[in-house]
Amino acid sequence: MENFSNRMELPISDLVIVAISKLIDDAQVESREPTHYDLGVQIGKAGLTSADPKHQGQTVGKAKRLRATLNWAIESNPQAGARLIELVLSHVKAVGGFRTTSPNYVGHEQILNAISAFDSEGFSLSENGDIRPKILDNLKGRHLTEALQAYAQRAKHGSEDAALLSGTGKDLLEATAKHIIHTKFGAHPANANFPTLMGQAYAALQMATPETPKEPNEPAIRDYERAVFSMATAINRVRNKEGTGHGRLCISALSDVEAHGIIESVGVVTEFLLNRLHASS
């Protein structure tokens, strides 16, 4: 398994795959960069040569070639697929693909489609090709819920930058708890510790914590609610103990498997809480 790094990992999804493939599709125009050679180089850098249709002897266009490679990656090696998306996006920008005066300009509609695809995954792509995670401090209400849901999905696939919200210094679980409290009560405490925040979020959703007494014949889901609470606080303790600043997991202290599992668990807990918030509204 590839070691986690501090590099931002871009999302890989069906929408993103289609959108990024359209950025290199020159079937309707004269040939433009990136060339097939360029694309092969980027596929090789991402470690996906074996999934490349051209490497398998097929004759395909650039868009179909990239789409087929990424469709294989999304199922078999999403981290390599995310790396390829990053490489292709950077190359398209470098050769002028986002500049209207460039012979390699990809087209306004294609750029808007890519912006929309990345937006649905919690990333902001500008019309000049710059991309960054959404800054959640600027979002409220439904837009914040949608952004947190997008991060939860990425965390469930092991993306470290989804578990730690880049640019905010906030842990995804902390941000979710504060969002729930703010949605239900109109404000959240400024300096409360994580167990207190999670407890208040649970109270807002009327869910059972480990401190909630069991009632006769209570629904079995109540035990799951307690288990999720325990998982969330355990994750927070590990991140505080093994962190390298702002909650980032320390790779030297945890194995790749442990770090990956914790990040996936962050996504599971976040998604569960957001689903309960939606059901309660």
CA atoms within 13 A on the CB side of 68: 18
d(CA 250, CA 242): 5
pLDDT band at 229 (very low <50, low <70, confident <90, very high): very high
Q: Which of 50-54, 56-60, 126-130 has the highest mean pLDDT?
A: 50-54
To the nearest whole percent, how much of the chain has pLDDT over 70?
87
With vertex at residue 111, the alpha carbon angle to CA 94 and CA 157, rounded to the nearest 5 degrees, is 85
d(CA 94, CA 70): 21
Confidence (pTM): 0.65
d(CA 98, CA 108): 9
- pLDDT at res. 3: 38
pLDDT band at 105 (very low <50, low <70, confident <90, very high): very high
pLDDT band at 134 (very low <50, low <70, confident <90, very high): confident
Whether 195 is covered by a domain: the verdict is yes
Q: Is 6's pLDDT higher than 70? A: no
Whether 1 is covered by a domain: the verdict is no
d(CA 178, CA 241): 22
Whether 6 is covered by a domain: the verdict is no
- pLDDT at res. 170: 56
What would the two tokens of residue 76 be? Answer: 């078999």
What are the start-end ranges of the H helices in the chain? 14-22, 36-45, 62-76, 78-94, 108-119, 141-156, 160-163, 172-185, 194-205, 221-241, 256-280
Q: Which of 64-73, 112-121, 236-245, 255-264 has the highest mean pLDDT?
A: 64-73
d(CA 88, CA 91): 5
Collapsing DSSP to helix, strand or coil, 193 comes out as: coil
- pLDDT at res. 31: 79
Which one-letter DSSP state was computed for residue 54?
T
141 and 120 within one domain: no
Distance of CA 214 to the CA centre of its chain: 36
Q: Is 240's pLDDT higher than 80? A: no
Whether 5 is covered by a domain: the verdict is no
112 and 186 within one domain: no
d(CA 149, CA 176): 9
More confident residue, 244 or 240: 240
Is residue 221 within 8 A of residue 237, CB to CB? The reply is: no
> What pLDDT, in 10s, does the model give residues 164-209?
554 444 588 999 999 999 999 988 777 889 999 999 999 999 999 9
Q: Is 161's pLDDT higher than 70? A: no
More confident residue, 31 or 11: 11
What would the two tokens of residue 280 be? Answer: 């309660």
Whether 210 is covered by a domain: the verdict is yes
Domain boundary among 133, 149, 166: 133
d(CA 133, CA 248): 16
Collapsing DSSP to helix, strand or coil, 93 comes out as: helix
Whether 106 is covered by a domain: the verdict is yes
The residue behind tokens 């090696």 is: 77
Whether 74 is covered by a domain: the verdict is yes
d(CA 104, CA 248): 39
Domain boundary among 95, 110, 133: 133
Residue 97, domain extent: 14-133
Whether 50 is covered by a domain: the verdict is yes
pLDDT band at 244 (very low <50, low <70, confident <90, very high): very low
- The dihedral sign for the CA sequence 266, 268, 269, 270: positive
Which residues sit opposite 162 in a β-bridge?
Answer: none
- Average predicted confidence (pLDDT) for the chain: 86
250 and 163 within one domain: yes
Domain boundary among 100, 133, 166: 133
Which of 1-5, 46-50, 56-60, 152-156 bottoms out in mean pLDDT, i.e. has the lowest? 1-5
122 and 142 within one domain: no
d(CA 166, CA 157): 17
d(CA 74, CA 226): 33
When divided into structural domains, the chain yields a total of 2
What average pLDDT score do residues 84-90 get?
96
More confident residue, 15 or 238: 15
